[in-house]
Amino acid sequence: MLNFSDKLIEAIKKKDSVLIAGIDTTVENIPDYFIRKYYDDEKNEIENLKYILYEYNRRIIDAIEENVIGVKFQAAFFEQYSYYGIEVLHKLIQYAQSKKLIVIFDGKRNDISSSAKGYSNAYIGETALFDKKIKFFDCDAMTVNPYLGEDGIKPFVEDCERFKKGLFVLVKTSNPSSKDFQDLIVDGKYLFEKVAEKVHEWGASCKGKHGYSDIGAVVGATQPQAAKMIRSILPDSFLLIPGIGVQGGKVEDLKYFLDKNKMGIIVNSSRDIIYAYKNHIHSDFEKSSFIASKNFKESINSAIN
């Protein structure tokens, strides 16, 4: 079985893309014509939710799959619909896996180690159930929050080693308030630099055959200055870069995130892809998302090659 970092590298080469589509769909943003077509008055809201939320995202995945290496599912968008949403998430993860896409679970999870282990079991590891061990979600990677420190991260790192999975630790996030804590000075360094140093340490035991670590960092596209500093601390980690487009991150700044081989990045875009129909690219939502993802892939490639 390939390490996560090797899987990423192979997918990037095969598809000539570093693009990840963020599946962050809410029902109110699904086009009216789609809802009118599929809403069944004979069924209740929940049954309609489950069908429409699944079907819209499934079709988006079909439309964009040749332009992206994977999908990132943001848990909040599914959790807001209670366990009905989680059921849809589970089905969509399986669908993306059947298409050989890389699946990232974005829940920014963490807790004390015993609880962190439960999150890790669910999304990248396995859960003991009677006399069996079950891989419930079996995603390729997940996002984690480092605020609790090393003992909260270790259960995830151990599962990465054991199951060849990946982690993306929040190092410098894309939002304006990321400065509140992440830019505090500790021992003469920014706190995000300290976190990056830890990510480097945690990743030392999980390296793939290409020499990249399976423990990566989340660095917002809106943070090119921080990215330069983080890259020097993390020369062989993948950076997951969200925040391009709607949040103000620019494709031209991606060069600051690259490693010495001009690699080591994956770039997420959510709303600009899943709701591309709102930009009137095409009358059909699937074609709109296809065109948006293709344009995105190409503009990223010309900015980083």
Ligand X SMILES: O=C(O)c1cc(=O)[nH]c(=O)n1[C@@H]1O[C@H](COP(=O)(O)O)[C@@H](O)[C@H]1O
Catalytic (active-site) positions = 108
Residue 145 in 3-state DSSP? coil
List, in sequence order, the alpha helices (H) in 234-281.
271-274
What is the smallest separation between the CB atom of 34 and ligand X, expressed in angstroms?
A: 19
d(CA 291, CA 285) in angstroms, rounded, equals: 10
| Residue of 148, 149, 79, 126 lying closest to 107 (CA atoms) | 79
d(CA 57, CA 99) in angstroms, rounded, equals: 13
Q: Nearer to ligand X by C-beta: 233 or 239?
A: 239
Q: Which residue has the tokens 């859960």?
A: 127
Q: Could you tell me how many residues make up the chain?
A: 305
Q: Which helix (H) or strand (E) holds 106?
A: strand 102-109
Q: Nearer to ligand X by C-beta: 29 or 127?
A: 29
Dihedral sign for Cα atoms in the order 168, 250, 244, 251: negative
Q: Nearer to ligand X by C-beta: 106 or 193?
A: 106
What is the smallest separation between the CB atom of 171 and ligand X, expressed in angstroms?
A: 9
What is the smallest separation between the CB atom of 68 and ligand X, expressed in angstroms?
A: 13
Q: Nearer to ligand X by C-beta: 6 or 24?
A: 24
Beta bridge partners of 268: 20
Q: Nearer to ligand X by C-beta: 126 or 137?
A: 137
Q: Nearer to ligand X by C-beta: 132 or 254?
A: 254
d(CA 15, CA 238) in angstroms, rounded, equals: 17
Nearest 10 degrees: Cα torsion 298, 143, 277, 89: 130
Residues 6+ apart with CB under 8 A from 68: 15, 17, 19, 20, 21, 101, 293, 297
Residue 237 in 3-state DSSP? strand
Residues 6+ apart with CB under 8 A from 203: 213, 214, 215, 216, 234, 236, 237
Determine the Cα angle at 59 with ends 55 and 63, to 5°.
Answer: 175
What is the smallest separation between the CB atom of 143 and ligand X, expressed in angstroms?
A: 4
What is the smallest separation between the CB atom of 115 and ligand X, expressed in angstroms?
A: 20
Chain contacts with ligand X (rule: CB under 6 A): 22, 24, 74, 106, 108, 143, 173-174, 218, 220, 242-243, 245-247, 268-271
Q: Which helix (H) or strand (E) holds 218?
A: strand 213-219
What is the smallest separation between the CB atom of 220 and ligand X, expressed in angstroms?
A: 4
